[in-house]
Each structure stands twice: as structure tokens, then as C-alpha cells.
Chains A and B, each alone.
Chain A
């Protein structure tokens, strides 16, 4: 029955990701297994999952490098995020 309980766990994680959206653009999130993060394709930001808890505070997000094209086409809220992350890296 180990397999069954694992399925239940996966299902639970899935029901949560069904409800979650990107905090800034309110667009759906995509789960990335490789980096264990939730990715918002609309603004090109990855939100980490720490110890099974998704962290969706805007300042926790990391701007994805490779998605240059999709970076600038989102709403105004993104500029705030950009500013903050530039401030941190500087």
C-alpha cells in the first residue's frame, strides 16, 4: 500500500497547484521537477518549493535568465519585482 499513499501525496500536491496562480500576474503556474520550483511563464519567474511548502512571496521569486523574450511583456507589477531583485544583486 506504499504506492497508494504516495499517489495520495502526489494528488494532494496537485490539488494545491490547481488552486495556485502567480501572485503578480495571476496566471497559471507550471511545476518544474528539475529545479523543484513553480514557474510563472507569463513573467518568467521561478518560485521555490522549500521542504514541500511553495514560497510565493514576490521577493522570493527568481527571474529566469533564458526567458528574455517573455520578461517584458507582463503587467506593471513586474517592474516592482525587477527593481527589488536588481537592488539585491547590486
Chain B
């Protein structure tokens, strides 16, 4: 298996070496070398993740937590080892608190459904922010079918910062939950979640953090944040699609009813009554995405091998460089100039629609995202239909940003 060596020396990360770990980066698009700037949608996968999944099906495939045979043992061990890796990666106290899901979306739906159905009453309030992804808006709205809850929204300012001067006054005795995005996928804003969690806790309100756009860019420590739940997706951190994680404090997970019923989540079933399995299995009904979990474990090894702090430092350099470079493009306006940003930059031209930018830039070999980024309320807030977004991963380079800028200037010429 290919391993990355000497990637983190005194001069910083050896990006050429890191790029060699990602086979897809050798692709050409319309005859040009691929420049992949759509990492907030999904990151590319290193060879070690691809080979781990290949190895699972070649040498280990078996259902887990069931058989006593050899294959079942080794696949169960690999699955549970990955749980330990994710526990350590986000510094959770216990593997009982690490639940595998399909992704951030399912993690949030699990909490909204299981916690919300049990603990919310008519007239209760929950708080979210104006920069939530649809996945942290719609699950709470769906709950309104059963519970007459009110959703309060923390506003954002013109630069894309949360307006938190009056945050504490949003809490009343009816406030039951705070669900908040750590890093905005459309604006790149890094929210002061630790501060907001501590304010919520003063009012005995539990907090879920949507860390989908945070975990591959900045170190995330659930004990330091003191969040009660945290949701993340494997495919945005160099792992496979269809696998995610819900971290939850044991006291809450214990009190919550199962989200789905089936195999693996039970300890005893009769037609009269079922006794549920212990944590975390209570929330993992049915045969899980085994290769996804094991692949995610390999992705975490990959990040750890480089070091999340080194990745953060390198990507901060890219963000700063790209921001300055994009500001030199005539007529380009950056949407979202928050004090602290990570991962993504959204921009707009007055006379060129993002979709036209997207089609033209594709012919330069550059993949970027155009649209509302599943954050329509953010687009409404700024009175715009859509943006173009560049989002970074550890394999991106300043040279790629230079090509992006040159390509954008070419597009301006066409639309003059």
C-alpha cells in the first residue's frame, strides 16, 4: 500500500507528495489538468482509502456483530477499530457516544426525531442560525408535523458573521434546543460555537453542532467545545460517501428512544416486547455501511498522518492567498467576509451569472460549485439567487488559484 512519507517537514507540507496520494488529480478535463475546487461538496479520496475499501471486499467481507466465523470476527474488529479512531479524532470520552449514520443529514434527523419527539412539547422553541444548510433547517420543520414548536433564527450581518450581541436574550423558559453550524458551507464563516454553547448551557439548553464543513479544516474537540451532539460526514474528510457520524453525550443518548428498529439494535425480541441493545448499537439498526466505516477509519489515519493542525495552517494560507487574488478580478464581489473563515469562498459578478461562470470555468478544467449551496435563506439574506464557490482541500495549490484568476479574467472578456 502506498504511504505518504516526509509530507510534514520543517518547510511545511510537501504538497506534491500529498497530491500523488490522490489518483483522480491526474485526470484531464476538456484537455486541461483537473483543478478540483469543489471540496465543500465532497473531497477526493486518497489511495489509502480506496485501497482499504478494495481490501475489505477482497479479503474481509462479512457481516458484523453476528457470526462466530473468522471473516465476521475480522470485519467486526475493523469496524469497531474505526469507531475508536473517530472517537480519538474528535476527542470523545467513549466509543458508546459514536454512532455511525449515513452522513451529517441523517445525524441531524436522528436527533431531531428521537430527541425532539421525546423531549419537545407544543409551544417549545428551538434556535438555529440564518446560515444553516437545509439539512439543519428541514428536519426541525418536519418535526412541526407532530409538535407545535417555534424555530428562532440567529441573524447574520452583511459580512456573514452571526449577530450574537443579543443572543442570550433569545432564550426563554420554552427554549429546548440549539442546533448550529460550525463552519458555513456557503460563506466559509467559522462561528464562535464554544462561546454560544456555554451561553446555551447557562439556560440548560443542549446544543448540536453541524461540523460537516469543520472537521477536515480545523481541529475539533467535542470535550473542549462541550457540545452535546456533533454531526459530521465522512465524504467531506477524504472518506467514502454514505457514511457519517453522530457524537452524542451518553446521558442524552441513553434517554433517547431508538430512531429506527431492526437487527443489531436489539438485545431481546419477542412479539410482546423488545429490549434494546446498549449504546451505540441502539442507534445502528440493520447491517451498516461496513466498508464506509472502515474507509472512514482510513481517511482519519490519512488526516492524522499529515496532522489536522498542519492542514489548517496550510489551508489558511490558501484562503488568504485566494481572497487577495480574487479581489484583483475586476467586478468580482466576495460574498461573506467574516472575521474568521475556513474552507470556502463564495463570489459573484454583477453581470455574469454563476452558472455561466461554472460552464466556462469547466472548460478550463476547473471544478467549482455554482448555485445556492443548499442554503437558500443565506441567498435570500443577501438578495442574490446564487454564487460561485471555490472550496479547498489539502491538495490544492496557489498555482491552481492563479489559473482560476486568469480564467475568470478571460470570462469577463467574453461577457464585456
Chain B associates with chain A: no
**Chain A residues in contact with chain B, CB under 8 A?**
none
